[in-house]
């Protein structure tokens, strides 16, 4: 009798090793670009009466050696902390066998999202940052900042880290977590933006990174924008950069470029290409002529499926999680 595996936050964290996840996310980008993936547009259910929304993200991908399917059901409810003592964002991932649709696993989608978001930034950094990048700036010291540093330090030999956030307590917690591994300090947005690699992970709707703050050869992972109106980088940064996106429909709707794109400040001609095109080799990554590069990441369902695949396979190997008879097959 087949059983469904329940994997909580700790199970997901334990069974997803970052180097393997980065490789799986890279495979996912390649599959999507090569036409070996299906990813319907992210759908939204808006709930203004609760100041929140639901989002559904289904996908299937065939990476050659493996294929996988699943759907993530995720919310954004900003009032959750104050009203219910719950996280603003919670996700649940259903991971299924593509051949027969059996629900292989139910996974904590929140931890999964943090890990795959970091891995996506690492893939982009590997292709777009200077080879000898050794410094990293991070703007925003929330939960996403931790996986940004963990993942990117897998693809570049990061030594110096500058963390910038208005919340001094969050900055202190971040420094405490990493001071044994990196030369890390608090700094201004301008100091962070001068680093070889910069990740922005904030929810702001007015740009906070001015053009004159960014280093001449800085690679930026713009990770914070995930809804209409969000915008972290000054328009001049985007216009001057080699601009790479994850998906045209999502980035123009809710990514870093959504505001200048819909205002007509930025057009398709200003977009260099998609990260999948670079991964499969149809377009170049960083070249000697490049200055600033930007990766606009909205987060794709194929990334969630790839991460669920890694988590599930290792959970089976390690006998982790809780197996249960979701479909009641034992009664038949």
Q: Annotated catalytic sites, by residue?
A: 72
**Is the Cβ–Cβ distance between 162 and 192 less than 8 Å?**
yes
CA dihedral sign, ordered 271, 272, 278, 282? positive
Beta pairing partners, 56: 43, 73
Tokens representing residue 50 in the block: 């609760």
Dmax (CA) for the chain in angstroms is 68
Beta pairing partners, 52: 47
**Is the Cβ–Cβ distance between 256 and 233 less than 8 Å?**
yes
- The whole-angstrom separation of Cα 125 and Cα 214 is 16
Tokens representing residue 38 in the block: 């299906």
- The whole-angstrom separation of Cα 38 and Cα 60 is 5
287 CB contacts (<8 Å, ≥6 apart)? none
Beta pairing partners, 244: 273, 295
Binding residues for NAD(+): 116, 143-144, 224-226, 230, 297
Tokens representing residue 153 in the block: 């330090």
Tokens representing residue 63 in the block: 């990476």
Bridge-based pairing of strands 242-245 and 293-296 is parallel
């Amino acid at each position: 009798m087949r059983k469904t595996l329940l994997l909580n936050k700790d199970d997901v964290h334990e069974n997803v090793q970052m180097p393997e996840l980065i490789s799986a996310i890279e495979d996912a980008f390649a599959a999507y670009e090569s036409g070996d993936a299906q990813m319907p547009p992210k759908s939204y259910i808006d709930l203004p009466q609760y100041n929140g929304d639901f989002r559904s993200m289904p996908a299937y991908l065939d990476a050659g050696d493996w294929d996988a399917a699943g759907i993530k059901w995720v919310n954004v409810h900003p009032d959750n902390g104050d009203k219910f003592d719950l996280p603003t964002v919670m996700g649940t991932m259903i991971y299924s066998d593509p051949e027969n649709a059996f629900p292989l696993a139910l996974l904590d989608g929140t931890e999964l999202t943090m890990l795959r978001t970091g891995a996506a930034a690492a893939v982009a950094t590997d292709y777009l940052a200077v080879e000898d990048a050794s410094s990293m700036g991070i703007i925003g010291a929330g939960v996403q900042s931790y996986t940004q540093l963990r993942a990117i330090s897998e693809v570049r030999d990061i030594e110096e880290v500058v963390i910038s956030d208005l919340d001094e307590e969050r900055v202190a917690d971040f420094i405490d977590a990493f001071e044994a591994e990196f030369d890390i300090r608090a700094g201004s947005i301008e100091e962070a933006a001068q680093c070889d690699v910069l990740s922005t992970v904030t929810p702001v709707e007015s740009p906070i990174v001015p053009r004159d703050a960014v280093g001449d050869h800085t690679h930026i992972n713009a990770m914070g924008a995930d809804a209409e109106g969000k915008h972290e980088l000054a328009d001049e940064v985007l216009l001057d950069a080699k601009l790479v996106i994850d998906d045209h429909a999502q980035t123009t709707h809710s990514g870093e470029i959504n505001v200048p794109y819909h205002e007509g400040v930025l057009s398709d001609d200003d977009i260099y290409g998609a990260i999948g095109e670079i991964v499969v080799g149809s377009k170049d990554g960083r070249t000697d002529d490049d200055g600033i590069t930007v990766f606009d990441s909205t987060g794709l369902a194929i990334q969630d499926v790839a991460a669920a695949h890694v988590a599930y396979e290792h959970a089976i190997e390690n006998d982790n999680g809780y197996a249960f008879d979701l479909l009641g097959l034992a009664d038949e």
